[in-house]
Amino acid sequence: MTTNSHNAAGPTQKTMEVVMALAIALFGLVVIAGSLKAGINWGAEGPRAGFFPFYIGIFIVASSGINHWHALQDGDSGLFAEWGQLRQVMSVVIPTGIYVGAMPFTGLYLASMIFIAWFMRWLGKYSWPMIAAVAIGMPVVTYLIFERWFLVPLPKGPIEEWLGL
């Protein structure tokens, strides 16, 4: 993993570590800003709401500063991941993003069916009967376990309403 491969391209571990440290420092700055807005001094009932997170923010920025410095000094020049691998990762992240984004409108069941079917067809190249079995079977089992037996309501969309579930 740490060896530098010649025929594969991708972002280096060092670059990612530097970016990561900067991103975390930015997060720390946001925390500090928010704390200042909430008040970091003493009020009538002792330390005010921003008091504790303010120092947390300081710690975040300081430790990312050190991590950033470490990454620049002796960062691992090996690959973080190959582009192909990152494409694999994105091929999960993007559909999952669409899936969770669609859920408030379609409900959980329809979105899950389409998501499972897409995943199996696109990445697994399964035959349609097989896909149908899993993509319909899983939500049905979920419905029985969660909503029927353990009485946990799950998000529903227009189709479930139409079916009267």
Per CB under 8 A, the list member of 9, 26, 37, 165 interacting with another protein is 37
Q: Give whichever of 34 and 160 is closer to another protein, judged by the CB atom.
A: 34
C-alpha to C-alpha distance for 137 and 114, rounded to whole angstroms:
12
Looking at residues 17 to 36 of the shown chain, list those that interact with another protein (rule: CB under 8 A). Answer: 17, 20-21, 24, 27-28, 31, 34-35
Q: Is there binding between residue 126 and another protein (CB under 8 A)?
A: yes
Q: Is 133 in contact with 155 (CB distance < 8 Å)?
A: no
Q: Is there binding between residue 136 and another protein (CB under 8 A)?
A: no
Q: Which residues, including other chains, have CB under 8 Å from residue 71's CB and lie 6 or more apart?
A: 14, 17, 18, 21
C-alpha to C-alpha distance for 21 and 13, rounded to whole angstroms:
12
Looking at residues 38 to 97 of the shown chain, list those that interact with another protein (rule: CB under 8 A). Answer: 38-39, 42-43, 45-53, 56-57, 59-60, 63-64, 66-67, 70, 80-81, 85-86, 88-89, 91-93, 96-97
Which residue is listed with tokens 């139409």? 162
